[in-house]
Structure 1
Amino acid sequence: MFQWVHQQTNRLTLFSGILLAIAFVSYFLHYHALQQSALITATIIAGVPIALKAYQSLCMKAFSIDLLVTIAVIAALFIGEYVESAVVTFLFLFGAYLEARTLKKTRSSIRELTEMAPQEAIVKRNGKELTVSVEEVEEGDRVIIRSGSKIPVDGSILTGAATLNEAAVTGESVPVKKKQNDNVFSGTMVDNGYIEMTAEKVGEDTTFAKIIELVEEAQESKSKTQQFLDKFANVYTPAVVVISALVFLITRDLHLAIIFLVVACPGALVIGAPVSNVAGIGNGAKKGVLVKGGDVMDRFSKVDTLVFDKTGTLTKGKPEVTDIKTFQGYGVNDVLRLVAIGETLSEHHLGQTIVTEAKKRELPMDSSPEDGEVIKGNGIRAIVEGTPLLVGNKALMKAEHLNIPNNVLEYAIMQEKKGNTAIYAAIHGEVVAVISIADQIREDAIPALHELRQHGIQKIVMLTGDNRHTAELVATTLGLDEFHAEQLPADKVAFINKLQKDGHIVAMAGDGINDAPAIATADIGVAMGEGGTDVSMETADLVLMADKLMQFSHAYSLSKATMRNMKQNMYFAVGIVFVLLLGVLMGGIHLASGMLIHEASVLLVILNAMRLTRYHRQPKTQEPPAVLQPA
């Protein structure tokens, strides 16, 4: 019964409207009996779904707006106000219909994301090409994607090259060229080209599936303001019933009490916060920014201090080996091969850079570390082909009590002053090589940080495990307030704790496993999605899918715009209730007009929130300072 009525609500609204029109015509034709019958029938038809929803709310021990309207309509029928009872029920249902239609538009981002999801894949099995459902693709499958097709799963390219539109994942519509060994993501489109790839993440594990899941969860979550309003509504609604009863007892005017009951409905107040959150989160999703809930928007808007990791966050995260210097008579390729095999243990950018360099030189890497350990923030310890190996920064060498000869140290410092990161390699407890790795600052780092300051950020700090010389060069280039080098994960956590104790609201941005503890500790954790690790993305409150710091700036200004929009809705809703109550006391507001104004206020609140779906951060006129990239 309940389900059938719910499904037929739109038709019942239409029938109610037709009956109202018949009653209106009957009034002018002086068919009084037909008019009365049409009004009563319209009231019953439109009133049934409202009453059923009120009953369902009461069963769940909740006092809804539907309950207020049901009480008011029954009372209006009791005193013979058939015009007002019919008009009120029709307006309430018609208003609910318009609200649903309008709210659907605010959720368009999730619908668009779902529509972008690929449905089929072409896989090569036993030498044959098969078209299968995307759910049937298995890890390790060889997947074929031709021009104009969507990539069905996450993986890496085996053969071929193509230009991809990655807007579905990153929010950036600029075509990206992909070649052999590059990673590609589900939901992205091959504009032109041909590739064959290995399926590495399938089903719900793909990046695109996680994006949809995160956006859905975020749109269902509530901000503190919304949680407060929900609790407020549960107290406010029964209070309105009690006050209406008191109005009747004092004035003995049942009509006035009914009007009070209708105009005091907190509809716009209750819906104002969630619709702003949904619209704001939807805007972020379209721009490649995943915001994990309304509460995140609330907290992010209050952030005054930003803490950044360096590698992969402020820099591109695509470092290259610039030099390898060996000592003690060791050959360059011999050391590089052993170190690269050891670094297969690590997900860190620098370790993977060494592995990439060894592959580029086509060095044999058939063996695996026999024993190994990743020392977070410092390096790795491993046994490769029976050789004890220690690879990492100067702090690791000191922690292992290894002596760094003066000539090795002088060379490393010279490389660091040039902007390189110096990685020490020790074999059998003796430092035998320094591998120099350089990374470039992101092109959008300077304007993004400049915009963030203009939007309200007071302090920007960099914490990095890298050496002091490289850190200072990057910090000076970007005009940061502070930098701290050679930081372990525990040091980053301690620094963020100190900032919080000093009264700062802190956002921490990073991309590696070693950043995850600091990301979790900060008031807002931000992860770089495209180049980041799964751990940092899962820990973070906010994910930048395109690894663009301009997305960070957009997200921050969007959070402030969302909270402004929410406050506008709240002030407007409260103001409308006061105006209506004042109108009732002055005799200028009646039951039907009160309901009309109430429904109009709800729609205006939704339309105001919908402006967030088209929000773009306002460019500032002041240009960022001109600075040079480090050499």
Structure 2
Amino acid sequence: MNARQTSFLTLISGLLLLSAALLHGAGWPKGQQISLLIATAVAGAPIAFKAYRAILGKAFSIELLVTMAVIGALYLGEYVESAAVTFLFLFGAFLESRTLEKTRSSLKALIDMSPLEAIVLRNEVETRVPVGELAEGDHVVIRSGERVAVDGTVMKGRAAVNESPLTGEAVPVNKTIGDSVFSGTMIDNGYVEVLAKKVGEDTVFARMIELVEEAQESKSKTQKFLDRFARIYTPSAVLLSILVFLVTGKLDMAITFLVIACPGALVIGAPVSIVSGIGNGARHGVLIKGGEVMENLSRVDTVVFDKTGTLTRGRPTLREISSFNMDSNELLRLAAEAETVSEHHLGLTIVKEAARRNLPLSGKPDQAEVIKGSGIRVVTGGISVAVGNRNLMESEGIAVSTSAEEDASRLEKLGNTVVFVAVDGKLEGLLAIADEIRPEAGQAIRKLREAGVNRFIMLTGDNRHTAELVGRKLGMDEVHAGMLPDGKADFISKLKEQGYRVAMAGDGINDAPAIATADIGLAMGEGGTDIAMETADVVLMADRLDQFAHAYSLAKTTVRNMKQNTFFAVGTVALLLFGVLTGQVFLASGMFIHELSVLLVILNAVRLGRFNSKSLNKIGLMKRIQARE
């Protein structure tokens, strides 16, 4: 039965109850009785049907308890109670479905933002086509007020783009030739022609919707425990109600006990909190992949960061070329030829600088091998080129002279990452590349520390000088440089063995093993690689570390909300059952309070939708006060 049918039957049942009250006031008891019986049948039929299906599945459900109670009430001639119980139960189901629908509104809003059509430039003619017909390589035209339908690169024009569907940031971002744009975002003003690189289900926006859908359907450990508990609790409630009848001899008390024992608020409390929390994250540009991830994130006490693209902007620039024997532009051209097959930030920087200097690139190399954490080795035009760090030079048996090492050390002390370039087995030069620290990184780390994270560590494949410079500026507890991907994963494994709850934040292919090893893997969405996003448990769509601080405190608040709901649900049932056994609570009034508890649990969970970063300061203040006490 869908939400519309539930609301219709609830309305009919409520009107019949109202008519029964009017007939009672008019002094027509028979009419009142008929109205109550019809109301019981209307509201009770779908409940009984669900109970029947549960029996076929060899399961005890809440609907089965209610059906048994209604049959008992009808047997006793308590028609007011039978009609009230079925109406209240159906009304509770209606409120539950409507509230869950509201908490999923963030997902619906995302889906509504998906563009259905796009204008494609084919043979210099603009043609409007369905999004499903777009292909990689298409030139897509987007004007003011239109949504971007592909992930791609701006080839022509300039525009201010609202990326809030992806990032949660409402301030438009200026895009010009060479910049990336993403599906689902909107052109506030301007005009651009975009070369499509990803279309349909491969776009970041489509993957975001898919991840949110999966996350909202997945269950937390608490939910799984409560599901198992309900399977045991429900038949136990039946046996206890029989025991109550045998001890007291009162069938009405046993039936009331049966209804009140229904764990409705207990069952709904955890999932509605999780759905609401995940929805809040999606609205703030944070994808949290499920309830179990939410719980694990709330327990994190140590955060490990990659440097390039995570703590830094991931938009490095080439600062200096130190060429030993060949022309500097030729050295840059050969390095760029090699890096055309790389996804690493440093490689892309080299390629972009070659393009900026209009250096001719012949295309993809004849042979290429990416050595994770070290660099790349290619053969292009019959020339062997190795581009990477010291580890690559050592593994290739390429000698680094004392003067070259001194030059590299000088550049590194200035905060540069040094890329070694060897041609045909001989070191020919150095490329000095620098990247800025993200402006929000320092504040995000302070907020995470206030919210409960005790230890911050940076692991990077970069040189020691640059790593320590960044670590000092951001207040890192530990900095480890020259780390290979396997070394990062091993380091995190050792932290976990020591009892730490570890989150790993990274963005590149070389970070994927460490992200997968950590208790919580976190990836940068906009600038991150596909494999890092797929491996991670949490994705920051705007590439902003303050979103991580929001996600961490949101997780803590969501778990606390689940605990509140569980405590309230159990407490309400316990008090009601005590009232039944002492003769203070009866069927209709008990059911009313029971359904009211369900509503209050839902409303408490809905509060998570309004959680925002301002709450972080409150959490930090509370922790400091507790520490002083």
Q: Distance in 2 between matches of 1:363 and 1:401?
A: 29
Q: Distance in 2 between matches of 1:76 and 1:30?
A: 23
Change (3 A) 1:22 1:368: closer
Q: Distance in 2 between matches of 1:12 and 1:354?
A: 66
What percentage of aligned pairs have identical amino acids? Answer: 59
Superposition deviation, residue 246 in structure 1: 1.2
Partner of 1:569: 565
Pairing 1:74-223 to 2, within 5 Å after superposition: 74-223=71-220
- Choose the corresponding residue for 1:63, options 60, 63, 80: 60
Q: Distance in 1 between matches of 2:519 and 2:428?
A: 43
- Choose the corresponding residue for 2:349, options 325, 349, 353: 353
- Choose the corresponding residue for 2:438, options 429, 439, 442: 442
Q: Distance in 1 between matches of 2:502 and 2:9?
A: 52
Superposition deviation, residue 159 in structure 1: 0.7
Partner of 1:628: none
Partner of 1:8: 5
Q: Distance in 2 between matches of 1:13 and 1:175?
A: 46
Partner of 1:507: 503
Superposition deviation, residue 619 in structure 1: 4.5
Alpha carbons 2:451, 2:616 under 8 Å: kept: no
Superposition deviation, residue 125 in structure 1: 2.0
Gaps of 5+ in 1: 624-631
Alpha carbons 2:121, 2:141 under 8 Å: kept: yes
Partner of 2:223: 226
Q: Distance in 2 between matches of 1:245 and 1:7?
A: 36
Alpha carbons 1:146, 1:194 under 8 Å: kept: yes
Q: Distance in 2 between matches of 1:120 and 1:603?
A: 41
Partner of 1:387: 383
- Choose the corresponding residue for 1:293, options 279, 290, 294: 290
- Choose the corresponding residue for 1:73, options 70, 90, 94: 70
Q: Report the AA paired with residue 556 of structure 2.
A: K
1:333-362 CA distance string (max 9 Å, x none): 011101100111211111111111111111
Pairing 1:443-592 to 2, within 5 Å after superposition: 443-592=439-588
Q: Report the AA paired with residue 29 of structure 1.
A: A
Q: Distance in 2 between matches of 1:200 and 1:59?
A: 51
Partner of 2:627: none
Q: Does 1:339 align with 2:306?
A: no
Superposition deviation, residue 65 in structure 1: 1.1
Alpha carbons 2:317, 2:434 under 8 Å: kept: yes
Tell which deviates more after alignment, 281-290 or 20-29: 20-29
Q: Distance in 2 between matches of 1:326 and 1:9?
A: 75
1:302-323 CA distance string (max 9 Å, x none): 1111000000000000000000
Q: Distance in 1 between matches of 2:321 and 2:135?
A: 40
Q: Does 1:429 align with 2:429?
A: no
Alpha carbons 1:6, 1:49 under 8 Å: kept: no
Q: Does 1:243 align with 2:240?
A: yes
Partner of 1:594: 590
1:51-97 CA distance string (max 9 Å, x none): 11111222223322111110000000001111111111111112211
Q: Distance in 2 between matches of 1:367 and 1:18?
A: 74
- Choose the corresponding residue for 1:269, options 266, 269, 286: 266
Gaps of 5+ in 2: 622-629
SS of the residue corresponding to residue 457 of structure 1 reads coil
Superposition deviation, residue 258 in structure 1: 0.5
Alpha carbons 2:311, 2:437 under 8 Å: kept: yes
1:104-132 CA distance string (max 9 Å, x none): 11111111111111111111223321111
Superposition deviation, residue 99 in structure 1: 1.9
Q: Distance in 1 between matches of 2:616 and 2:305?
A: 23
Q: Distance in 1 between matches of 2:446 and 2:488?
A: 24
Superposition deviation, residue 6 in structure 1: 7.8
Q: Does 1:36 align with 2:38?
A: no
1:458-512 CA distance string (max 9 Å, x none): 1100000000010111111111010110000010011001101100011000000
Partner of 2:626: none
Q: Does 1:366 align with 2:366?
A: no
Q: Distance in 2 between matches of 1:9 and 1:603?
A: 16
Q: Which runs of 4+ in 1 moved over 6 A?
A: none
Q: Report the AA paired with residue 188 of structure 1.
A: T
Alpha carbons 1:367, 1:385 under 8 Å: kept: no
Tell which deviates more after alignment, 272-281 or 197-206: 197-206
Partner of 2:395: 399
Q: Report the AA paired with residue 51 of structure 1.
A: A
Q: Distance in 2 between matches of 1:77 and 1:15?
A: 20
1:410-455 CA distance string (max 9 Å, x none): 1110110010011111112211101000011000010000010011
1:500-526 CA distance string (max 9 Å, x none): 110001100000000001000111000
Alpha carbons 1:345, 1:373 under 8 Å: kept: no
Q: Report the AA paired with residue 30 of structure 1.
A: G
1:223-259 CA distance string (max 9 Å, x none): 0000000111111111111111111112111000000
Tell which deviates more after alignment, 23-32 or 555-564: 23-32
Superposition deviation, residue 134 in structure 1: 1.1
Alpha carbons 1:307, 1:460 under 8 Å: kept: yes
Alpha carbons 2:144, 2:191 under 8 Å: kept: yes
Q: Report the AA paired with residue 132 of structure 2.
A: E
SS of the residue corresponding to residue 594 of structure 1 reads helix
Change (3 A) 1:179 1:332: same
Superposition deviation, residue 620 in structure 1: 3.0
Alpha carbons 1:309, 1:462 under 8 Å: kept: yes
1:157-214 CA distance string (max 9 Å, x none): 1111100000011111111001112111000000000011112111111111111100
Tell which deviates more after alignment, 149-158 or 55-64: 55-64
Q: Distance in 1 between matches of 2:122 and 2:356?
A: 30
Q: Report the AA paired with residue 121 of structure 1.
A: A
SS of the residue corresponding to residue 442 of structure 1 reads coil
Q: Distance in 1 between matches of 2:405 and 2:242?
A: 85
SS of the residue corresponding to residue 555 of structure 1 reads helix
SS of the residue corresponding to residue 8 of structure 1 reads helix
Q: Distance in 2 between matches of 1:102 and 1:236?
A: 25
The CA RMSD over aligned residues, in Å, is: 1.3
Partner of 1:278: 275
Change (3 A) 1:76 1:421: same
1:26-62 CA distance string (max 9 Å, x none): 2222211111111112111111111111112222233
Q: Distance in 2 between matches of 1:459 and 1:400?
A: 37
SS of the residue corresponding to residue 620 of structure 1 reads helix
